[in-house]
Structure 1
Amino acid sequence: MIQMADVGVGISGQEGRQAVMASDFAMGQFRFLVPLLFVHGHWNYQRMGYMILYNFYRNAVFVLVLFWYVLFTGFTLTTAINEWSSVLYSVIYTSVPTIVVGILDKDLSRLTLLKHPQLYGAGHRDECYNKTLFWITMLDTLYQSVVVFFIPLLAYWGSTIDASSIGDLWTLAVVILVNLHLAMDVIQWNWITHAAIWGSIIATFICVIIIDAIPSLVGYW
C-alpha cells in the first residue's frame, strides 16, 4: 500500500523497519504526519509551483532577446551577447537566487497553516501551477523580452556603439529584470535572500567587466 501511493509515509515502530524501507518519508510518531502534510506539504507545493513558472520565465526572457536579435538582423549567424555570458547566465547570474528562494521562501507561517488546515487544499485546486498561470507567464515573458530588447536598441540608435557593447547592455538588463521580478515575488525576506538576489546582480556586472577586459575570453571554446 505504501509503494502504491504517490508519496509513501512510513511509521518507524515495534513492527520493524519494513514500512520505513518501503516509504518515501519515515517518521517516529503519527503526530508528525500533520505538520508533514499541512506545513511542509503546503510550503513545498507553493515553492515548486512558483519555481516552475519562474524558471520558464527567466530562461525564456533570455532566449527571446536572442531571438529578437536574430530576427532584427535578418537571421544573421552572429550574436551580440558574448558566449561566456550565455553560459554564465544560468550558472552564476541567475542560479543562486532561484535556489535560495526555492528553499527558504514561505507564503504562510507554520502556525497559520496548522490553524487553518483547509489551506492544504491549494494543491488539490492547482492554485500555484496551472495552464492559465503558465500562459499568462509566457505572455508576460514575451512582452518583457520585447521591452528589454528594444529600449537599449532605441536608446543607442544612430550612435557608434558596437554590437558587443549593446549585447552587454542586454545581458545586464535581462539579469536585473529577472532578479527584480523574483524580488517582487519574494514573500519572506532574510539576509540570505538579500545577499543572493542583489549579490547576483553585482556579480553579473563584475563578470561582464572581466569578460570584456580579457581578450582571450571572447569565446568559450
Structure 2
Amino acid sequence: MTDYWVLIFFNLLFTSVPPIIYGVLEKDVSAETLLQLPELYQSGQHSEAYSPLTFWITLLDAFYQSLVCFFVPYFTYQGSDIDIFTFGNPLNTAALFIILLHLVIESKSLTWIHMLVMVGSILSYFFFALAFGALCVTCNPPSNPYWIMQKHMLDPVFYLVCVLTTCIALLPRFLYRVLQGSLFPSPVLRATYLDRLAPEERAEALKKWRGTAKITQMASNYAGQSAAKSGRPEAGLSAALPVRSVTACAVEQEDLPTCETVLDVDYSEQVSQR
C-alpha cells in the first residue's frame, strides 16, 4: 500500500527520534520532590508500571489503533477508483499523527525539545513525501508514487480521514488517562501535581502528605501490635481504629501532634476494652 522507501524512512527517521527524546527527557517527579518523598520509589521497586495488566491493556490498545487506522480510510474510500498506493498514503499519515500524539498523552513533562522534535518529524515526513512524489516517477517499478501526496493535500477528504482516524484511535487511551488522573491517581501522579504548585503551596502540600503518611503508618503498626497480642485478625482492629478521621485531622487541621494524641487515646481505650 506504500512504497518501501517511505516505509524505511517512516521507521528510521519520522517516528524514531520522538520516542528516543521521550525516553531521555521524560521525568515523572522532580528530584526535590523525590528527596522529600522517598516512598515514591516503591512503584519502581514493585514494578507497578510493568504489570501483566498493563501489558495486555497496551496490547489491546495497539490492536484497536491498527484496526481504526485501516478501516476508517477503507470505509471512506470504499467504492472509489483510487489505487492501492493512494489508499496507503492516508494510512501512513494518520499512523504518524497517532504515534506522536500518543507520546504526548503519555508524557508527563513536555518541553520545547519534545515539541520541536515532533514538529520536525511531521515536517520531514511531508517534505519527503512531496519530494518523493514529485521526483520519483519510476524509481521502484511497478509502484508509481508520482504526485500522490500533492493530490491528497488538495483534497479535503484526506484531511478529514487523518483527523477522524487519529481522534478515534486515541480516544480510549485519552479517556483512560483522564479517568485515572481524576478518580484513582497513583502516588507518583499525585506527586507530579505537587511540582506544578507554587513554592508555598507545594511546601504546605508536602507537609500534609508526610503527616498523612505518618498517621497511616502509626495506625497500621498499632493494629498489627494489637492483633499479635490478642491473637485476633489484624483487619478487625484496623477497621475499628478511626484511621480515616485521624488522617483527615492531619490534613485539615495541619496539627500532627494533636492527631497523634487522639490516635493514642483511641488506641488505648480500645485495648483496655478488649
Give the TM bin, normalised by the shorter chain: 0.5 to 0.7
Q: Deviations over 1:47-100 (max 9, x none)?
A: xxxxxxxxxxxxxxxxxxxxxxxxxxxxxxxxx121012211221110110111
Q: Deviations over 1:6-35 (max 9, x none)?
A: xxxxxxxxxxxxxxxxxxxxxxxxxxxxxx
Alpha-carbon contact 2:104-2:110 (below 8 Å) kept: no
1:91 and 2:12 matched? yes
Aligned residue for 2:49? 128
Aligned residue for 1:183? 104
User: Of Structure 1 and Structure 2, which has the larger fraction of its residues in helix?
Assistant: 2
Aligned residue for 2:137? 215
1:170 and 2:91 matched? yes
Cα distance, 1:130 vs structure 2:
2.2
1:160 and 2:74 matched? no
Q: Structure 2: which 5+ runs fail to align? A: 142-274
Cα distance, 1:210 vs structure 2:
2.0
Alpha-carbon contact 2:18-2:114 (below 8 Å) kept: yes
Cα distance, 1:201 vs structure 2:
1.7
1:206 and 2:124 matched? no
Q: Distance in 2 between matches of 1:129 and 1:152?
A: 33
Aligned residue for 1:68? none
1:106 and 2:19 matched? no
Note the aligned Cα RMSD (angstroms). Answer: 1.4
Q: How many percent identity over aligned positions?
A: 36
Q: Distance in 1 between matches of 2:23 and 2:65?
A: 23
Q: Classify 1:217/1:171 alpha carbon distance in 2 versus 1 (closer, same or farther; 3 Å).
A: farther
Task: Show structure 1 runs of 4+ deviating over 6 A.
Answer: none
- Paired residues, what number? 140
Work out which of the two has the higher radius of gyration on C-alpha atoms and give 1 or 2.
Answer: 2
Alpha-carbon contact 2:22-2:114 (below 8 Å) kept: yes
Question: 1:60-75, aligned counterparts within 5 Å?
Answer: none
Alpha-carbon contact 2:73-2:91 (below 8 Å) kept: yes
Q: Structure 1: which 5+ runs fail to align? A: 1-79
Q: TM-score, normalised to structure 2's length?
A: 0.49
Q: Distance in 2 between matches of 1:132 and 1:138?
A: 10
Q: Distance in 1 between matches of 2:140 and 2:100?
A: 26
SS of match in other structure, 1:108: coil
Cα distance, 1:215 vs structure 2:
2.0
The code of the aligned residue for 1:94 comes to T
Q: Deviations over 1:108-140 (max 9, x none)?
A: 111111111111111121112122111110100
Cα distance, 1:168 vs structure 2:
1.1
